[in-house]
Amino acid sequence: MKYVTLNNGVKIPQLGYGVYQVEPTEAERCVNDALGAGYRMVDTAQAYHNEEGVGAAVKKSGIARSEIFLVSKIWISNYGYERAKASIDESLRRLQTEYIDLMLLHQPFCDYFGAYRALEEAYREGKLRAIGVSNFQPNHFIDLASNVEIVPAVNQVETHVFCQQIRSKEYMDEFGTHTMSWGPLAEGRNGLFANPVLKEIGKVHGKSVAQVALRYLTQRDVIIIPKSVHRNRMEENFNIYDFELTPDEMERIKSLDLAKSAFFDHNDPETVK
């Protein structure tokens, strides 16, 4: 496993396991499988309603808590300083842990400055080892990062071969904020699993399309959290460090970038209302 050092010195596995859309009743089994496959970072959120299952799997795994990196996110209904502060304690209780390794603000809506103050406070108290944001587009990200005391360690944004965040990553790098990809496989959108360029490159290395797409992001220093509820796919997505894409292959995959979301148009009132 490769580790990345965040802007406060904390080390995070570059590859983790995401549990978005994993049923609360399935979460414990899935995280148990993922830990068995070798994952040591799990990405959940208050809005996924499966923090309990994640916590239970970690607790029962027998793996030292210090070896597992837990990420969660505060949902917007818990924004504002007071509510965010209380919700961090609720997440700690649901995850059955004394600290969360990385806590993010899920979306840049409502009183997110107030919520971020609660993150900063919990960080200073040792309840959170690192703090950051998610889905902060350049306008929100630069505004927040320029006006808070603790610069976000991470911005978790949609990042995959069709939406590579090339420019966004450059300015996040300037703040020392790591880009963490959600949807690293674009949830299969835009025909990702049948993409001829990815298939051809995969063939050369004896690797699947998913492995090529994930490996590409890690070679761009992006942290990734692919999701699957199937143990064999969890293993497939985990086995990406035994090959390396050449500079030419990197360029070919770079050219797949459409530089726009495969999920939302942030400028379309219909998708954001």
Least CB distance to ligand NAD at residue 151 (A): 19
Long-range contacts of 121-124 (CB under 8 A, 24+ apart): 121/85, 122/85, 122/88, 123/150
Nearer to ligand NAD, 80 or 108 (CB): 108
Of the two residues 53 and 82, which places its CB atom closer to ligand NAD in the complex?
A: 53
Q: What does the chain come to in residues?
A: 273
Rounded to whole angstroms, the Cα distance separating 157 from 203 reads 29
Closer residue to ligand NAD (CB): 248 or 268: 268
Judge whether 185 and 192 are in contact, CB under 8 Å.
yes
Q: How far is the CB of 237 from ligand NAD (least distance, A)?
A: 5
Least distance (Å) between residue 249 CB and ligand NAD? 19
User: Among this protein's residues, is 216 annotated catalytic?
Assistant: no
* Separation CA 186–CA 163 (nearest Å): 9
* CB neighbour list of residue 253: distance below 8 Å, 6 or more residues apart: 161, 197, 198, 201, 212, 213, 216, 245
Ranked by CB distance to ligand NAD, the top (closest) residue is 18
CA Rg, the chain, in Å? Answer: 18
Q: Can you name the residues that pair with 128 across neighbouring β-strands? A: 100
Annotated active-site residue in 39, 48, 116, 123: 48
Residue ranges binding ligand NAD (CB under 6 A): 18-20, 43, 134-135, 156, 182-188, 193, 210, 225-228, 233, 236-237
Tell me whether residue 82 or residue 139 sits nearer to ligand NAD (CB atom): 139
Give the shortest CB-21-to-ligand NAD separation in angstroms. Answer: 6
Q: The tokens 């994640």 sit on which residue? A: 54
What positions carry a catalytic annotation? Answer: 48
